[in-house]
Amino acid sequence: MDLSLLSRRSDHEWVIEPHGRMRVPGILYASEALVADMDHKVYEQVANVAMLPGIEGASYAMPDAHWGYGFPIGGVAAFDPDRGGVISAGGVGFDISCGVRTLYTGLKLRDIETRKVDVANALARAVPAGVGSEGQISLDDVEMDAMLSGGARWAVERGYGTVADLERIEEHGCMAGAEPAEVSPQAKRRQRDEMGTLGSGNHYLEVQRVAAVFDRAIGEAFQLREGDLVVTIHCGSRGLGHQIGTEFLRRMAIEAASHGIELPDRELACAPIRSELGRAYLGAMRAGINCALANRQIITALVRDVFAKLFPGSALPLLYDVSHNTCKLERHVVDGEEKRLFVHRKGATRAFGPGHPELPAVWKDVGQPVLIGGTMGTASYVLAGTGGKGERAFGSACHGAGRSMSRSEALRRFKGRQIADDLADRGIIIRSPSSRGIAEEAPAAYKDVTRVVDAADAAGLSRKVARLEPVVCIKG
C-alpha cells in the first residue's frame, strides 16, 4: 500500500481521510511494515465501506487485513439502524461465525511425546476434515431447526459437552434472534451431514504447547502456564454458512437500488437493517452463528472422547470460544453518546475489556480471552481484550496471521508432502486428507503472526498473554 495516501496518527494507527463519498474516515491499525505490505485493494475496500449508509465512527482494518469479498478480511464497521444503517452479507463473510475455541488438557509435552502419532491418528479418525467431509450425525428437519435455534446449548442437551461449557462461549452458546425459517432448504441440505466436521481451507484442530507467557497475571487468570498442552479448534458453519452468504448477497445486490443505496462495489451488497430483507438476513445469519457454535461443541466432545481413551482421567475443560465473521447488536459510545449498533466483524475478533457487562464473571477483572489462530508450524496466540475509555474499533482485534499469498500461488510454490515432512522433522505431526490442502495453507503463504499480534498489542486493540506452538495438527 502506498503510505503517502494515509495520514499517520501514531506508530500503529493510520488514517484514510474522508474523500469522495466517504462518510467517515478509514482507520488501519498496524505497523508501518504491515501497512506497506498490504495490497492496495485493502485501501480501496476500507474506503468503500466508509461510504455505506449509517456507518458510525470509522471503517476499520486490523493488523492482519487483506483483500476480501466487499469488506477486507480484518474489517470492522458498525451501523446505526436509527440513521438508515445497513447490514451486509459481505461484511460478515461466507463462513459465518468461523471461530476458535481452546481447551485445557492438564498434560505436558512429556506426557504425549511418545504417543504423538497415536494422538494425531486418533484425532484424524474422530474428526472428519476436508472438502465435503461428513460426520456421524445426520439431522432431520426438526433437529436441523432445533440446532439452528439452539447452537451449542442444543449440542449440550444432546450429550455433547456440559452446561459448564456454555459459560465460556460467546452468547453463552446460543445466539438469540435466530430464524431457521429464513435459512433455505438448500443451505440446510448442505449441512445435514456436516455437523462435527472441520471442513477445509484454514480450518484446523491442533494440540499446542504453551511456549511463552507474556503477562503473568492474566496468564494465571486464564490458567495458562508455560509447558502446558492445550487443544485448539478452528472452524465455522460449513456449507450452511456459505450458502446463506451466497444467497443473501445475490438478493441484496438486486434490491440495493430499491432502497436508494448506491453501492461503491457490487460486492458490498447490503440492505437497511430495518428492511424486510435486512431482518431476514439477520435471522438467517444468527442461525448460521448457532450452527458454528454447535459444530465446535460437537467437535469438542469428539476430542474429549479421544483424550479420555488415550489419557484416562483427562477432562479437557473449555478456556473460551470466540467467533469472527459475525454481525452483532452491541452498545458502544460514539462521540460521548451510547448507541445500539450493529457491529460487523469480518476476519476480526470481539475483544471486550475488563468490566464489560457481556463478559462472564470469571473474566470481569482481566478482559475477554482473544484467541488468535496461527498457521501450521508457526504459532497461535492468546490475547486479552483491553476496552475501557480507550476502546478501539468497537472492542475488536485481529483474528489470525492473514494471508499474504493466494491459494493458487501457494500451490505453484509448495508441495504438501514436503511441508508435512519438514514439519515432522521439527516434531510437528500433520494429518490431512489432502496434500493440496497442506500446500494451500503453507506457513509461508501467511503473514508473520507474531508481527500481527505485536501490532495488535502496540495499537491497544488487545494485550498479548501467551504464545502457543503446534505439536499435532489436523488440517482440512
Catalytic residues: 399
Q: Write down the residue that cell numbers 498434560 correspond to.
A: 107
How far is residue 200's CA from residue 217's CA, in Å, rounded to a whole number?
Answer: 36
How far is residue 446's CA from residue 421's CA, in Å, rounded to a whole number?
Answer: 19
How far is residue 113's CA from residue 84's CA, in Å, rounded to a whole number?
Answer: 57
Instruction: Identify residue 394 by its one-letter amino acid code.
Output: F
Residue 330: how many other CB atoms lie within 10 Å: 17
**Direct distance between the N- and C-terminal alpha carbons of the chain, in angstroms, rounded to an integer:** 32
Do the Cβ atoms of 245 and 96 come closer than 8 Å?
Answer: yes
How far is residue 245's CA from residue 230's CA, in Å, rounded to a whole number?
Answer: 32
How far is residue 379's CA from residue 395's CA, in Å, rounded to a whole number?
Answer: 24
Do the Cβ atoms of 62 and 396 come closer than 8 Å?
Answer: yes
How far is residue 100's CA from residue 300's CA, in Å, rounded to a whole number?
Answer: 11
Do the Cβ atoms of 79 and 340 come closer than 8 Å?
Answer: no
DSSP alpha helix (H) spans, 396-474 = 407-413, 416-425, 435-440, 449-458
Question: Positive or negative, the Cα torsion across 389, 391, 395, 401?
Answer: negative
The x, y and z cell numbers of residue 386, run together, are 483491553
Do the Cβ atoms of 387 and 356 come closer than 8 Å?
Answer: yes
* Chain Cα centroid distance, residue 261: 29
CA 5 vs CA 20, 29, 319, 349: distances in Å: 14, 15, 42, 27
Which secondary-structure segment (H or E) carries 179?
A: none
How far is residue 51's CA from residue 203's CA, in Å, rounded to a whole number?
Answer: 32
The x, y and z cell numbers of residue 432, run together, are 490431512
Residue 427: how many other CB atoms lie within 10 Å: 13
